[in-house]
């Protein structure tokens, strides 16, 4: 029995089987490369689902995190910390938002967004205007509220009753949106690029219609940028590609370089909606996570960083367009969906693992979410393995 096999046996006999895991035991990582317990090397083009935004154990990030963990690892939100103040200021300044609430995950960031939207509407208009429009094929998280928000029937099972108050509109269907955006609605929640739903970017026309109709009715726009945010698409926020700023933007995944953090950003109009006692989180705004997040923003805000992300994205698309098995490449920036002509995405991901390459899938597509710091030579090496599999 290999070391990995022993770990897998121990793991599976003690951890609830709520994931379909690949038989890979990660031992350590360096830059864009992961190593398993048996010493095998993997080029990682998935970055822990877009979470290790600076790759593995980036020096400046690790130094900041280690220094903070030796200074103060946690304090309750009844007190202040300078590091949370510093990161909140940086985040608001970089994104142009007025205020932020910190949680620890994407689902928590979206829970906060839902609460802000409903309370804003309740404070101003009273009861009965609590519905939130979400899109078919969206993904907003795994808590009961965010599952209820998620516009995919496969997630609406077992855990009945789900939370009421979510209405699904077909993405890019303006007539459907108009028909459902009535006086019971307080917000429209969307991903500019649906990630788990298959790496599908919304059409500009539809996004324009959402903002226009919402503005007319004082309905809030919530942008779930948990996967698309923090430089993933080659802009700080994906909304920048659409020329839009939502009333609320949620971030998580890559925000702290691999430490748990979720952020719910609100504009000026919403900055006073949550008052003492109306929301909270024990770990939210944890100093160590904030130190990691500051290190991520130090890099992402760097002159030229995002244009490099865009150049790498163009490189990926150019390489993939030359592959005969590739039907279409979707997404923006380093959020890449690959539709295949004949092969199954799941089989490709398994074969890639065997050959030392980590890729993701989303619905029937192969999905790449490389670390933002990936180099062209690392990308080239990884894509050669992938294209080798696709062209076999
Ligand atoms: C991953 C994801 C979430 C959920 O984030 P968690 O940290 O797993 O709770 C929500 N929305 C989108 C768009 C995501 O990609």
Is the CB of 140 inside a 6 Å radius of any atom of ligand 1?
yes
Say if residue 295 is in the same domain as residue 309: no
pLDDT at 35: 98
Say if residue 32 is in the same domain as residue 105: no
Is 222 part of a structural domain of the chain? Answer: yes
pLDDT at 239: 98
Say if residue 170 is in the same domain as residue 319: no
Q: Select from 274, 300, 326 the last residue of a domain.
A: 300
Say if residue 125 is in the same domain as residue 214: yes
CATH number, domain containing residue 163: 3.40.640.10
| Ligand 1 centroid, distance to 392 Cα (angstroms) | 34
Is 66 part of a structural domain of the chain? Answer: no
Say if residue 41 is in the same domain as residue 128: no
Report DSSP letters for 296-365, one per residue: HHHHHTSTTHHHHHHHHHHHHHHHHHT-TTEEEEESSTT-EEEEESSS-HHHHHHHHHHTTEE-EEETTE
For residue 257, give the H/E element and its range.
none
Say if residue 30 is in the same domain as residue 76: no
Is the CB of 227 inside a 6 Å radius of any atom of ligand 1?
yes
Q: Select from 271, 300, 329 the last residue of a domain.
A: 300
Say if residue 240 is in the same domain as residue 111: yes
Task: Provide the token pair at 84.
Answer: 């949370």
Condensed to tens digits (0 to 9), the pLDDT of residues 107-161 reads 999 999 999 999 999 999 999 999 999 999 999 999 999 999 999 999 999 999 9
Is 65 part of a structural domain of the chain? Answer: no
Say if residue 18 is in the same domain as residue 126: no
Confidence tier at 249 by pLDDT (50, 70, 90): very high
Over residues 55-73, the mean pLDDT reads 98
Condensed to tens digits (0 to 9), the pLDDT of residues 148-175 reads 999 999 999 999 999 999 999 999 999 9
Range of the domain at 365: 3-58+303-390
Say if residue 120 is in the same domain as residue 132: yes
| Ligand 1 centroid, distance to 252 Cα (angstroms) | 7
Say if residue 211 is in the same domain as residue 272: yes
Beta strands in 90-149 (DSSP E): 99-103, 131-135
252, 260, 264, best to mutate for ligand 1 pocket (most atoms within 8 Å of CB): 252
CATH number, domain containing residue 340: 3.90.1150.10
Is the CB of 252 inside a 6 Å radius of any atom of ligand 1?
yes
Is 92 part of a structural domain of the chain? Answer: yes
Percent of the chain beyond pLDDT 70?
A: 100
Is the CB of 111 inside a 6 Å radius of any atom of ligand 1?
no
User: What are the phi and psi torsion angles at 186 (to 5°)?
Assistant: -105, -20
Say if residue 337 is in the same domain as residue 324: yes
Atom index in ligand 1 nearest the CA of residue 141 equals 4
Q: How many domains does the chain divide into? A: 2
Is 64 part of a structural domain of the chain? Answer: no
Condensed to tens digits (0 to 9), the pLDDT of residues 206-226 reads 999 999 999 999 999 999 999
Say if residue 213 is in the same domain as residue 178: yes
Q: Rounded to two decimals, what is the model's pTM?
A: 0.98
Q: Is 219 exposed, middle or buried (0-12, 13-18, 19+ CB in 10 A)?
A: buried
| Ligand 1 centroid, distance to 51 Cα (angstroms) | 10
Q: Select from 300, 319, 353 the last residue of a domain.
A: 300
For residue 277, count other CB atoms closer than 10 A to its CB: 6
Is 63 part of a structural domain of the chain? Answer: no
Is 67 part of a structural domain of the chain? Answer: no
Over residues 342-361, the mean pLDDT reads 98
Active site members: 139, 224, 253
Nearest CA to ligand 1 atom 10: 140
């Amino acid at each position: 029995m290999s070391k990995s096999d022993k770990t897998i046996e121990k793991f599976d006999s003690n951890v609830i089987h709520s994931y379909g895991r690949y038989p890979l035991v990660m031992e350590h990582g360096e830059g864009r490369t992961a190593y398993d317990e048996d010493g095998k090397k993997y080029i990682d083009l998935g970055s822990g689902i877009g979470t290790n935004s600076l790759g593995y154990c980036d020096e400046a990030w690790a130094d900041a995190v280690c220094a903070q963990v030796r200074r103060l690892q946690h304090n309750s939100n009844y007190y202040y910390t300078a590091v949370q103040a510093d990161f909140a200021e940086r985040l608001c300044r970089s994104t142009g938002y007025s205020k932020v609430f910190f949680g620890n995950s994407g689902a928590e960031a979206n829970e906060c967004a839902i609460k802000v939207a409903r309370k804003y509407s309740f404070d101003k208009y009273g009861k009965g205007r609590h519905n939130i429009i979400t899109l078919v094929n969206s993904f907003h998280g795994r808590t009961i509220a965010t599952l209820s928000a998620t516009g995919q029937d496969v997630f609406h099972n077992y855990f009945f009753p789900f939370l009421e108050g979510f209405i699904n509109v077909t993405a890019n269907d303006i007539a459907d949106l108009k028909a459902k955006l009535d006086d019971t609605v307080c917000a429209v929640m969307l991903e500019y690029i649906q990630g788990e739903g298959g790496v599908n970017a919304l059409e500009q026309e539809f996004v324009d219609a959402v903002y226009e109709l919402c503005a007319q009715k004082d309905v809030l726009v919530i942008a779930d940028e948990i996967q698309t945010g923090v430089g993933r698409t080659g802009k700080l926020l994906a909304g920048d590609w659409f020329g839009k700023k939502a009333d609320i933007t949620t971030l998580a995944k890559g925000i702290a370089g691999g430490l748990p953090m979720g952020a719910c950003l609100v504009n000026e109009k919403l900055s006073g909606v949550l008052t003492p006692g109306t929301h909270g989180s024990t770990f939210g705004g944890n100093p160590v996570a904030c130190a990691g997040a500051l290190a991520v923003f130090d890099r992402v805000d760097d002159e030229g960083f995002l244009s490099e992300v865009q150049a790498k994205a163009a490189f990926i698309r150019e390489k993939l367009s030359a592959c005969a098995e590739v039907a279409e490449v979707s997404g923006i920036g380093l959020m890449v969906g690959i539709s295949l002509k004949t092969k199954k995405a799941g089989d490709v991901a398994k074969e890639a693992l065997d050959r030392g390459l980590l890729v993701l899938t989303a619905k029937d597509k192969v999905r790449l979410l490389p670390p933002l710091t990936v180099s062209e030579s690392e990308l080239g090496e990884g894509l050669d393995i992938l294209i080798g599999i696709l062209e076999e």
